[in-house]
Structure 1
Amino acid sequence: MLYKIEEKAGVFQKLDPVEFKDFSSFGKLEKDLENLIANSILDVLFEDAKLMPIFQERQWQAEADIYALNERGELVIFELKRASAGKDAVHQALRYAQDAGQWTYQKLARKFEEYSNSTVSLVSAHREAFSLEHELEPKEINNNQHLLVIGSAADESLISSVDYWKKNGISIDFLPYRVYELAGQKHFEFFALPYDIHKNPSDVKGVLFDTNRSWDESSIWSMMENSRVEAYGDAKRFVHHVHVGDIVFFSHKWCGLIAAAKVKSEVKTPDSETLYRDVEFLTPIPSRQGGKLLAMPFSEVSSTTGKSFFWARTIKVPYLTKNEALELVEELNKYLRRK
């Protein structure tokens, strides 16, 4: 809940609750809420609870809104409700979970292939996403299902229904959202499990940022030679997720970390397919003429930081704190200079 602080003579006097709304208040559809959640599920809403989205509902199909895998290969099913929905919505979500629990690995793999437009197998993509030493066996995928219902914080009937099934042993949770309209701008409030932990956006953070090798083999040199962090096409939005003062680590697919830099500028748009920010390098800069590209292997990055990153995305969550990022810069400098 958001409260306005009433202040008098420099003293905080009382808290006044601010009115909130849901998606239906603005004439938006559940599909709008679904796309908003799906586009932000990894790097914003669930930045430290890693999930691998593998499928979204199709029109006219009896399916939940979003399906994802966790590190153990368990299926996490999202059902989204833009406005008051009531207990019937939970019954519907339970039916979706029951159906999904009977899906074979082959069926899930086909859904993932369709969703990702990729020929990479589901178990291979899962291994890369969670930086696992070995792929899970197909029989280990979808052994358990967890249901997350996202709805308006004012929907008491929906909350009560979720609580009932949770008390009866069903793996289900309710995640409330609120929409505020302040000074003509809309703000989305969301409560992520397990404790709604989010890093303060104003804090300096460390971000492992992909060089977009799959998009363009030469994109790395655009970044290195022009001192910028850059992204393209559908991934260009991730440039908005780093801010001035953040430390970015350039992650080159199949190699590792090749450089680190501090973000210096606001977002720039050279063309319709590209966004970038200017950076100041904190490590040696790779060169086209340098022969073999030096890189700290991903396994060593995980060992150094003590974290398991979601390698399959442009931005590799979880983020690092400022101190963690500075320590990784120091280790990356040592690694690159001794090679």
Structure 2
Amino acid sequence: MLYKLEQKNHTLERLPGKHLKSINWKEEDLQILIYKNLEKLLQDEDLLLIAQSRNWQEEPDIMALDQNGDLYIFELKAWESKDHNLLQVLRYGQIFGQYNYQALNQLYLKHFPGNKSLVEVINNKYDVNLEEDQINQKQHFVIITNGLDLKTREAVLYWRTQGLDTQSWIYRIYEVKGDILLEFDTFEINENPYSDIEEGYYILNTNYNNNPSTHKDMIQKKKAAAYFDPWKRNITKLKKGNYVFLYQSGKGIVAFGISNGKLEKNTYENEPDEEYNVGLNSFKELSSPLSAKEIKSITGINYRFMSTMFGIDIESAKKVIEHIKENNL
């Protein structure tokens, strides 16, 4: 994530990410960029490139080998919200995972004519002594996707829980004073794969299970609040104009409003400054809660509602707001 530093008041403002199409790039441009700069982008991953996809061929975007002879199959996703494309990389695994050394070496020499044989190049590069039958005994699947793409994160998390070595490497694009900046990083699989989403739309748990009075206080005073460290610091993320959906555990979204951006600190349970809150303008209480099941159905994303607060993407937020206005007000 990239932040703008406000030096005078010591605050940070996260810069919004952009989609690939916003800079007039196609998926093949991203493929060429990564292929030419893989060592720069992935300094922690020492891989030997062996092939990139060719027109009209059923091939992965990029294939590479590591020092153990394991095959890495890359699939680039320039366009978001097409999680079914993840199945394509698994199909490539089925095809190329069955390649013996001779077939893989032949493919390598098509892309790098004039080079030594694949096993010689690997052994020289990594200073190892692999035999031909040790190459391509294991496959790793790498999905390269925009940091805004939540549905692919869901799919990667699912396949990981099923024991498949599927990784997600995330790129984010920013534009600063006409310059295009690229951030490239791995996506850590954890219990909440949406924790780093900051597009101005948030779901906040009202703390009902721990203290029902906090839920009532947020509704009555039209505010978003959290309590004690580290949970209260979630509120500092809320900028003026951000949407906040108040979520009651076991019920669903019960209200929403727009942050005024004014952070306040109150005493909570006789402890000073243990409540952080911001006021919510244009506050609306729902006539009936929008359940977790309905939220997942509307957005197509299997959100986990265990966190105090997490961000959702703009596309999903608009769907939720539209549904609420049509059915829950």
User: Does the Cα contact within 8 Å between 1:38 and 1:66 map onto a contact in 2?
Assistant: yes
Q: 2: CA distance between counterparts of 1:117 and 1:25?
A: 36
TM-score by length of 1: 0.54
Indicate which of 87, 93, 112 corresponds to 1:91: 87
Q: 2: CA distance between counterparts of 1:24 and 1:143?
A: 37
Task: Quote the residue 2:30 is aligned against.
Answer: 33
Task: Quote the residue 1:112 is aligned against.
Answer: 108
Task: Quote the residue 1:140 is aligned against.
Answer: 134
For the structure 1 residues 48 and 187, does the alpha-carbon distance in structure 2 shift closer, same or farther, using more than 3 Å as the test? same
Matched AA of 1:170: L
Please identify runs of 4+ aligned residues in structure 1 that moved more than 4 A: 192-195
Q: CA deviation at 1:85?
A: 4.2
SS of 2:173's equivalent?
strand
Q: 1: CA distance between counterparts of 2:16 and 2:135?
A: 43
Task: Quote the residue 1:15 is aligned against.
Answer: 12
Task: Quote the residue 2:125 is aligned against.
Answer: 129
Say what the alpha-carbon RMSD is for the aligned residues.
Answer: 1.7
Matched AA of 1:88: H
For the structure 1 residues 183 and 105, does the alpha-carbon distance in structure 2 shift closer, same or farther, using more than 3 Å as the test? same
Indicate which of 18, 28, 43 corresponds to 1:47: 43
Task: Quote the residue 1:175 is aligned against.
Answer: 169
Unpaired segments ≥5 residues, structure 1: 196-339
SS of 1:191's equivalent?
strand
Say whether residues 1:6 and 2:2 are aligned partners.
no
Unpaired segments ≥5 residues, structure 2: 190-329
Q: Deviations over 1:68-110 (max 9, x none)?
A: 0000000011111112042211111111112111111111001
Indicate which of 142, 145, 150 corresponds to 1:156: 150
Q: Larger Cα Rg: Structure 1 or Structure 2?
A: 2
Q: 2: CA distance between counterparts of 1:110 and 1:179?
A: 36
Q: Deviations over 1:227-261 (max 9, x none)?
A: xxxxxxxxxxxxxxxxxxxxxxxxxxxxxxxxxxx
User: Does the Cα contact within 8 Å between 1:86 and 1:161 map onto a contact in 2?
Assistant: no
Q: CA deviation at 1:27?
A: 2.1
Matched AA of 1:5: L
Indicate which of 177, 181, 184 corresponds to 1:190: 184
Q: CA deviation at 1:193?
A: 7.8
Q: 2: CA distance between counterparts of 1:85 and 1:55?
A: 27
SS of 1:15's equivalent?
strand
Q: 2: CA distance between counterparts of 1:176 and 1:46?
A: 11
Question: Which is bigger in relative contact order (C-alpha 8 A, separation at least 6)?
Answer: 1
Q: 2: CA distance between counterparts of 1:102 and 1:150?
A: 23
Q: CA deviation at 1:150?
A: 0.4
Say whether residues 1:78 and 2:89 are aligned partners.
no
Task: Quote the residue 2:298 is aligned against.
Answer: none
User: Does the Cα contact within 8 Å between 1:105 and 1:142 map onto a contact in 2?
Assistant: yes
User: Does the Cα contact within 8 Å between 2:168 and 2:186 map onto a contact in 1?
Assistant: no
SS of 1:188's equivalent?
strand
User: Does the Cα contact within 8 Å between 2:81 and 2:150 map onto a contact in 1?
Assistant: no
